[in-house]
Amino acid sequence: MKRSSRLSKTNDIDRVRKKGRSYANKHIVLGVLSNQIEENRIAVIAGRSVGNAVQRNLAKRRIRSACLSLQECIDKGFDLVIIAKKQLLDVDYSVLRSSLEMLFIRAGLMKD
């Protein structure tokens, strides 16, 4: 994932979390808000409840990788905030990817 497509400013992340729609499952929470540009910007968050710094970074890398593999299937023009839950570290990558894909489908972000 390119750095230019990351949502990094705290104000932008807070805006998505407060004004956007939220979708959750056992492993991930997804916040979605339209951004009026032809690009998706993504923020990946793993709080201390996920584990120590090594575990949090692993969780974020796994989520970014899954997002990258699904990037071509997602409609453009949204700010996405993806929050890792503690159970994320206990699942295989394929389960993580399908879990993220199901959230994108529930949010209506997948292309037809």
Digit-coded pLDDT (tens) for 34-51: 988 888 999 999 999 999
Residues with Cβ within 8 Å of residue 28, at least 6 apart in sequence: 63, 82, 83, 84, 85, 88, 96, 99, 100, 103
pLDDT of residue 83 exceeding 80, the answer is yes
- At residue 82, the 3 state secondary structure works out as strand
Which of the listed CATH numbers 1.10.3720.10, 3.40.50.300, 3.30.230.10, 3.30.450.20 matches domain 3-104? 3.30.230.10
Cα Rg of the chain (Å, integer): 13
pLDDT of residue 21 exceeding 90, the answer is yes
pLDDT of residue 55 exceeding 70, the answer is yes
Which pair of structure tokens corresponds to residue 21? 């729609």
Which pair of structure tokens corresponds to residue 79? 């700010």
Q: Where are the domains of the chain?
A: 3-104
Q: CB count, 10 Å around CB of 2?
A: 7
Which pair of structure tokens corresponds to residue 28? 């991930």
**pLDDT, position 57:** 96
